[in-house]
């Protein structure tokens, strides 16, 4: 019996997807629930699994963009395999983790998973395969810290290089070398991924459809740094994660949103849509582009719960497991360019949201405290907002509330 492998519906607004990678080869015998391929939509990556046992025949190669519901392969339960799953063909045989390593806007240190022996026959993700190929690594006997013992990007980055000779893939630069000298005008065209095209479209829409304005303030991080230093060991011992800044900034943002409801609202046609719930989007940078998973009902969560939710999103983004539901329903977004060293920036609105908070690098600066010049760890914060909905007074008030919550963290405990 032969069945079609079709592109599944992954969201109401998504009409097409791009085949990122095939995890199986054409002619290979696959089992039910084996991951066949990774789809890239304009919002997230989606795994497609086999619905029954049989021999796979690939109809559409990686890199092709297809409509939702289209057939990309067939599985024949009566056919005989022409390609061994143990052979290396075009697909790698060692274990795999995920497609991308995420950089969350916060600095939570992810808890270290237990090492497992990698499962044989599992394909690499593109990110891991690239590193293995470039470094000439021998993955036999390597242990992985990912799910089911899969190798993560971190595993292969820290592994010793066993091959002194670079492979062909490692030797290939973006601009191919030749005997002729490289010309300054050389260029290479790389097609945009589905996710990157959607990011570009949304950023342009945000700039063209909102009256965006940005206001700034600065925060003395002394007490927060002291708090984190004092309790970091006990916090990690109890919860398995480090006490980052994002949980504290999220809590401070929620109190500010309660005080200035317009910042948590949308423009809905000719009406204003206010939200009596707090779904906080956390901007996450991945190899495929920026994603904003949403911590839903964050006001009902403790700081440790928020930190764990952010850690889980970072892991899911790293493993290419972020789903459409994870990215939907946000009412306010926080982004932290400080993890990349940014000192100051004006973040772009994540429409239809009316505002976004930008965190930045903490840097020692001379400030005047009670008439005396002191060196304090300071952070600039920025609030970009839609001026059609939020007035300057409300934006400034919002940032002042954030500043109060971070500079006096006891306020977050008693919610004032």
pLDDT tens digits for 156-215? 666 665 443 443 334 445 555 555 566 677 888 887 777 777 778 888 989 999 999 999
Which residues on neighbouring strands pair with residue 383, listed in sequence order?
A: 215, 357
Strand 332-336 to 355-359 pairing: parallel
Confirm whether 344 is domain-assigned: yes
Same domain, 200 and 59: no
| Chain-centroid distance, C-alpha 243 | 20
Please check whether residue 313 is in contact with residue 282, taking contact to mean a CB–CB distance below 8 angstroms: yes
| 186 CB-contact burial (10 Å; exposed 0-12 / middle 13-18 / buried 19+) | exposed
Residue 322 pLDDT greater than 70, yes or no: yes
Angle among Cα 231, 250, 112 to the nearest 5 degrees reads: 50
C-alpha closest to that of 247 among 221, 282, 277, 276: 282
Instruction: Give the per-residue pLDDT at 168.
Output: 38
Confidence of residue 90 (pLDDT cuts 50, 70, 90): very low
**Secondary structure (3-state) at 394:** helix
Instruction: Give the per-residue pLDDT at 42.
Output: 67
Domain housing 23: 1-88
Same domain, 206 and 81: no
Same domain, 384 and 246: yes
The model's pTM is: 0.66
Pairwise CA distance, residues 380 & 220, whole Å: 9
C-alpha closest to that of 156 among 170, 140, 169, 167: 140
| Cα distance between the two ends of the chain | 66
Instruction: Write out the H or E segment, with its range, that includes residue 316.
Output: helix 303-318
Pairwise CA distance, residues 3 & 334, whole Å: 45
Confidence of residue 330 (pLDDT cuts 50, 70, 90): very high
Please check whether residue 96 is in contact with residue 31, taking contact to mean a CB–CB distance below 8 angstroms: no
Q: Tell which of 88, 122, 142 closes a domain.
A: 88
Confirm whether 149 is domain-assigned: no
Confirm whether 8 is domain-assigned: yes
Confirm whether 29 is domain-assigned: yes
Q: Tell which of 25, 56, 88 closes a domain.
A: 88
Confirm whether 331 is domain-assigned: yes
Domain tally for the chain?
Answer: 2
CA distances for 375 relative to 227, 393, 403, angstroms: 18, 30, 18
Same domain, 78 and 210: no
Instruction: Give the per-residue pLDDT at 13.
Output: 60
Q: What percent of the chain has pLDDT over 70?
A: 77
Same domain, 222 and 349: yes
- Going through 61-151 in order, the beta strands assigned E by DSSP cover 65-67, 71-76, 103-104
219-240 pLDDT, tens digit per residue, is 999 999 999 999 999 999 999 9
Confirm whether 365 is domain-assigned: yes
| Cβ atoms within 10 Å of 166's Cβ, excluding its own | 14
**Secondary structure (3-state) at 129:** helix
Q: Tell which of 88, 109, 137 closes a domain.
A: 88
Same domain, 212 and 72: no
Confirm whether 410 is domain-assigned: yes
Pairwise CA distance, residues 16 & 285, whole Å: 23
State the chain's mean pLDDT as an integer: 81
| Chain-centroid distance, C-alpha 414 | 32
Tokens of 4: 């079609």
Please check whether residue 402 is in contact with residue 221, taking contact to mean a CB–CB distance below 8 angstroms: no
- Average pLDDT, integer, range 381-407: 96
CATH number of the domain enclosing 206: 3.30.559.10
Pairwise CA distance, residues 354 & 374, whole Å: 36
Residues catalogued as catalytic = 387, 391
Pairwise CA distance, residues 21 & 39, whole Å: 7
Pairwise CA distance, residues 413 & 53, whole Å: 55
Residue 110 pLDDT greater than 90, yes or no: no
Confidence of residue 354 (pLDDT cuts 50, 70, 90): very high
Instruction: Give the per-residue pLDDT at 267.
Output: 94
Please check whether residue 99 is in contact with residue 45, taking contact to mean a CB–CB distance below 8 angstroms: yes
9-38 pLDDT, tens digit per residue, is 766 567 788 888 898 988 999 998 888 988
Same domain, 211 and 360: yes
Tokens of 57: 């025949």
Q: What percent of the chain has pLDDT over 90?
A: 43
Please check whether residue 49 is in contact with residue 35, taking contact to mean a CB–CB distance below 8 angstroms: yes
Confirm whether 123 is domain-assigned: no
């Amino acid at each position: 019996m032969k069945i079609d492998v079709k592109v599944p519906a992954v969201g109401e607004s998504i009409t097409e997807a791009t085949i990122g990678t095939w995890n199986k080869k054409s002619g290979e015998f696959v089992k039910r629930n084996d991951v066949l391929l990774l789809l890239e939509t304009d919002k997230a990556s989606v795994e497609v699994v086999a619905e029954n046992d049989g021999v796979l025949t690939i109809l559409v190669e990686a890199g092709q963009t297809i409509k939702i519901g289209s057939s990309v392969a067939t599985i024949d339960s009566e056919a005989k395999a022409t390609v061994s799953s143990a052979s290396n063909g075009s697909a790698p045989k060692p274990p795999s983790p995920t497609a991308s390593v995420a950089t969350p806007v916060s600095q939570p240190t992810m808890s270290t998973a237990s090492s497992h022996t990698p499962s044989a026959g599992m394909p690499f993700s593109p990110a891991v395969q690239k590193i293995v190929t470039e470094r000439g690594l021998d993955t036999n006997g390597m242990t992985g810290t990912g799910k089911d013992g899969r190798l993560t990007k971190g595993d292969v980055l820290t592994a010793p290089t066993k091959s002194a000779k670079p492979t062909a893939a490692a030797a290939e630069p973006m601009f191919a070398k030749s005997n002729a000298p490289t010309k300054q005008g050389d260029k290479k065209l790389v097609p945009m991924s589905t996710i990157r095209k959607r990011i570009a479209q949304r950023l342009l829409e945000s700039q063209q459809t909102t009256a965006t304005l940005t206001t700034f303030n600065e925060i003395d991080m002394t007490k927060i740094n002291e708090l984190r230093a004092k309790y970091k060991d006990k916090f990690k011992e109890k919860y398995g994660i480090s006490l980052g800044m994002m949980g504290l900034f999220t809590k401070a943002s929620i109190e500010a949103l309660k005080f200035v409801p317009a910042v948590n609202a949308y423009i809905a046609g000719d009406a204003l849509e206010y939200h009596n719930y707090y779904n906080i989007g956390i901007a996450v940078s991945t190899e495929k582009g920026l994603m904003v998973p949403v911590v839903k009902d964050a006001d009902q969560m403790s700081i440790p719960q928020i930190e764990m939710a952010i850690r889980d999103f970072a892991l899911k983004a790293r493993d290419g497991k972020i789903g459409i539901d994870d990215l939907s329903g946000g009412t306010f977004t926080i982004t932290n360019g400080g993890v990349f060293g940014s000192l100051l920036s004006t973040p772009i609105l994540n429409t239809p949201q009316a505002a976004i908070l930008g965190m930045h690098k903490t840097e020692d600066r001379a400030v005047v405290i009670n008439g005396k010049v002191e060196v304090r760890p300071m952070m600039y914060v920025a609030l970009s907002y839609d001026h059609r909905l939020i007035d300057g007074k409300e934006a400034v008030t919002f940032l002042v509330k954030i500043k109060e919550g971070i500079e006096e963290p006891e306020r977050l405990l008693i919610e004032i």
